[in-house]
Amino acid sequence: MSSDTATLDLSHLWMPFTANRTFKAHPRLLSAAKGMYYTDTDGHQILDGTAGLWCVNAGHGRQPIVDALHAQAQKLDYASSFNIGHVDSFRAASEVAALMPQSMDRVFFTNSGSESVDTALKIAVAYHRAKGEGQRTRLIGRERGYHGVGFGGISVGGISPNRKAFSGVLLPGVDHLPHTHDLAHNAFSRGQPAWGGEHFADALEDIIALHDASTIAAVIVEPLAGSTGVLLPPKGYLERLRAITEKYGILLIFDEIITGFGRLGAATASDFFGVKPDIITFAKGVCNAAVPAGGVSVRRGIYDTIVDATEGGIEFFHGYTFSAHPMATAAILATLGIYRAEKLFERAHGLAGKFEDAAHALKGTAHVIDIRNLGLVAGIELESRPGAKGARAAEVFAKCFDRGLLVRYTGDIIAISPPLIIEEKQIDQIFSTLKDVISVVK
């Protein structure tokens, strides 16, 4: 730590998803960010290999967003969206809707991915009830899925440590699809793995047979699972999930908190894969993470069904004090403007081949048992040390940081997801640093 942070009291802050004691013994503190780089409190430049936390897609400190936030704070600091509105909330919804698949153009704003997921689950249940099928309350998630930290999200989520402490109070009536990660068949696939798509999706038929379709409201999956360690959908998987859910009148929710807004080189993963769900959740990249913001986009018919089912008054008893907060909508409008002006989704698409080659050049490096990639996302899976799952990747993370590179790890998987403004030489820097570091860890 630099001299001005040496006296900083770290005791009061309870850090999220962090080993608090380890961090506080060896803190890594950031003080500034611009473009592709963070600066830490010692003045070191750190290349951002993770777009913050899968969210700063346009790069850090973008002036149009800074200017929009400054102007908004001076003009209208806050306006509720309950029975009153402000102009930019409608503009932001229209601009988001324009990027969503055709007719999925009704948008509900939240402040985070977790809120977006819980909102989507509630919309799904409310929709069936409005249609006169109130018995459809069951929700189907997937093993290893990450859908944030609300009770809804951890119930449909499939990451055991996130659920364990709360197992007695999770939502009832939830079941899980198997995850799609299969190293025996698909290790070192470039792009979507070839094996297992229909096989994994057909497990939904068994779940439906067990519970009966008439009890199931929705299936929620990440089209590409990020937080659990970059698990890609095998070819044909999402298509088959869509076909099965459609056959039984079950809503399909794509959790696009990570994949939305350019990560795969398209506005949404739905667009990228050519598979249209009924509901899409988003957050993170929608406003370049400049302020907290998120939302849910739904098929027009879902909105109409819920709204038309009510004689008058409030149709959907749900919302947040900060839904469509003026600072959030200002950031959203400015961010989407940058994506358009700089064609960043197309840029990500154009860089994906180079990114794939650079990632797969790590094949053969010690400990590396899989490399997987799509768009500007890569996962590098390391063999775990016996009895010390996650220790090797934690060491890689720390050593990369010391060498001026921010990566993310979960278990023994390193995830790379840089801002979409990345230059080719920075792609090389990420993977050559990783190769050097992975080669030297025990």
Ligand X SMILES: Cc1ncc(COP(=O)(O)O)c(C=O)c1O
Residues lying near ligand X in the complex (CB under 6 A) are found at 112-114, 117, 146-148, 222, 226-227, 255, 257-258, 283
- Minimum Å gap between C-beta 365 and ligand X is 27
The residue written with tokens 């119930």 in the block is 155
In the complex, least distance from residue 157 CB atom to ligand X, rounded to whole angstroms: 8
Longest distance between any two alpha carbons in the chain, whole Å:
67
Single out the residue of 128, 131, 136, 134 nearest to residue 212, CA to CA.
136
Minimum Å gap between C-beta 229 and ligand X is 12
Q: Find the shortest distance in angstroms from Cβ 114 to ligand X.
A: 3
- CB-wise, 141 or 226, nearer to ligand X? 226
Residue 332 CB, nearest approach to ligand X (Å): 15
**DSSP string spanning 169-186?**
GSPSSEEEEPP---HHHH
Shortest-Cβ-distance residue relative to ligand X? 113
Minimum CB separation from ligand X for residue 378, in Å? Answer: 16
> Which residues are bridge partners to 248 per DSSP?
none
Residues 319, 342: Cα–Cα separation, whole Å:
33
Angle (CA) 301 285 67, round 5° = 115
HSE-CB at 140 with a 13 A cutoff on CA atoms is 26
Sign of the dihedral defined by the CA atoms of residues 348, 352, 358, 360, in that order: positive
Residue (226 or 233) nearer to ligand X, CB: 226
CA distance 377 to 254: 18
Quote the least distance from Cβ 257 to ligand X, whole Å.
4
Backbone dihedral region for residue 119 (phi beyond 0: left; psi -120 to 50: alpha; all else: beta): alpha
CB nearer to ligand X: pick between 195 and 320: 320
Residue with smaller CB distance to ligand X, 147 or 325: 147
Using DSSP, state whether 142 is helix, strand or coil.
strand
Using the minimum distance from each CB to ligand X, give the nearer residue, 113 or 375: 113
Nearest CA to 231 out of 267, 265, 198, 192 is that of 192
Nearer to ligand X among residue 171 and residue 358 (C-beta): 171
117 or 279: CB nearest ligand X = 117
